[in-house]
Amino acid sequence: MTDVAAMRLEARQGRGQIYFRAFVGLLLRDTRVLRRQVFAISARTLINPLLFVFVFTYLFPKIGQEVAAGRGISFATVLLPGLVAVSIMFQGIATVALPLAIEFGTTREIEDRVMTPLPVSGVALAKIVFSTAQSVLAAAVVFPLVYFIPATPVHVHVSSWPLLVLVVLIGGFVSGAMGLTIGTLFKPNQIGLIFAVIVVPTTFLGCVYYPWAYLAAARWLQILVLLNPLVYMSEGLRAALTPELPHMPTGAVVGALALLTVVLTWAGIRGFLRRVLT
């Protein structure tokens, strides 16, 4: 019995090594493709936050139309956490959902991926992990933009580095899982609806331009937006970067993001398996 148990353990370890190498191989493959498309990816990463920062924090003050944030705080300071959050969200969805439309479409590239010596769910998880890395990069890009472009000073005080890192990482993973869910839920010819039906409403109601506490004047909306993952990313980053502004309790933010990670990962992998196996 001891010899049989040892053989089974050795077989599991060998299988685990194969899975790990295959998983890393998928990430390296996507990284190689990313290097070949560096211009397009850079444009997608930079243009959206650049426009936000330029219009709201440079152009508006220059023409005398600066948004009033109150308490002597510039709107650029209010916008920074939400802008980092929306960059994470956009990048995560675009990195997973848009390529899936091609892979499930006429090219059927997905068939090559699932031939990897890895469970199909592992292929889906690799997409989320790769998307998380790009979302973290997109978040990092925002800080130099907000430092150099605004016409009014931006006051940022990192109250908790662990919270900042945690929210960025979990937010990136949630965004990738959301992209996987959307990419498997919509047909390839309907992928354009993502931005009109999901991404745009998510952004405007994601507490990007205002703290969640300010919605108390419209209590029904304040409760409704709690279904929006972007709200928790914005509020978590607000707690970490601009603690002088009202924000949700950090425990509520981390708990909600953890729950969204489980739910969206399950939904995304389930949808991926359904699309691949059928």
Structure tokens at 133: 């890395």
| Residue 203 φ then ψ, to 5° | -70, -50
Q: Is 78 helix (H, G, I), strand (E, B) or coil?
A: helix
Q: What is the pLDDT of residues 28-59, one digit of tens each?
A: 877 777 777 667 667 667 777 777 778 777 77
Residue 142 pLDDT > 60, yes or no? Answer: yes
Residue 106 pLDDT > 70, yes or no? Answer: no
Cα–Cα distance measured from residue 115 to residue 118, given in angstroms and rounded to the nearest whole number: 8
pLDDT average, residue stretch 152-167 = 84
pLDDT at 25: 79
pLDDT at 13: 58
Residue 173 makes CB contacts below 8 A (sequence gap 6+) with 128, 129, 132, 261, 265
Residue with the bigger pLDDT between 112 and 183: it is 183
Tokens 């439309």 sit on residue: 101
Residue 172 pLDDT > 90, yes or no? Answer: yes
DSSP states along 144-207: HHHHHS-SS------S-HHHHHHHHHHHHHHHHHHHHHHHHHS-GGGTTHIIIIIIHHHHHTTT
Please give the torsion angle defined by the CA atoms of residues 263, 265, 268 and 270, in that order, rounded to the nearest 10 degrees.
Answer: -80
Cα–Cα distance measured from residue 172 to residue 87, given in angstroms and rounded to the nearest whole number: 10
Cα–Cα distance measured from residue 149 to residue 50, given in angstroms and rounded to the nearest whole number: 9
- The structural domains of the chain, with segments of one domain joined by +, span 40-277
Residue 4 pLDDT > 50, yes or no? Answer: no
pLDDT band at 1 (very low <50, low <70, confident <90, very high): very low
Give pTM, 2 decimals: 0.86
Residue 61 makes CB contacts below 8 A (sequence gap 6+) with 150, 151, 152
- DSSP-derived secondary structure letter, 68: P
Tokens 């509020």 sit on residue: 235
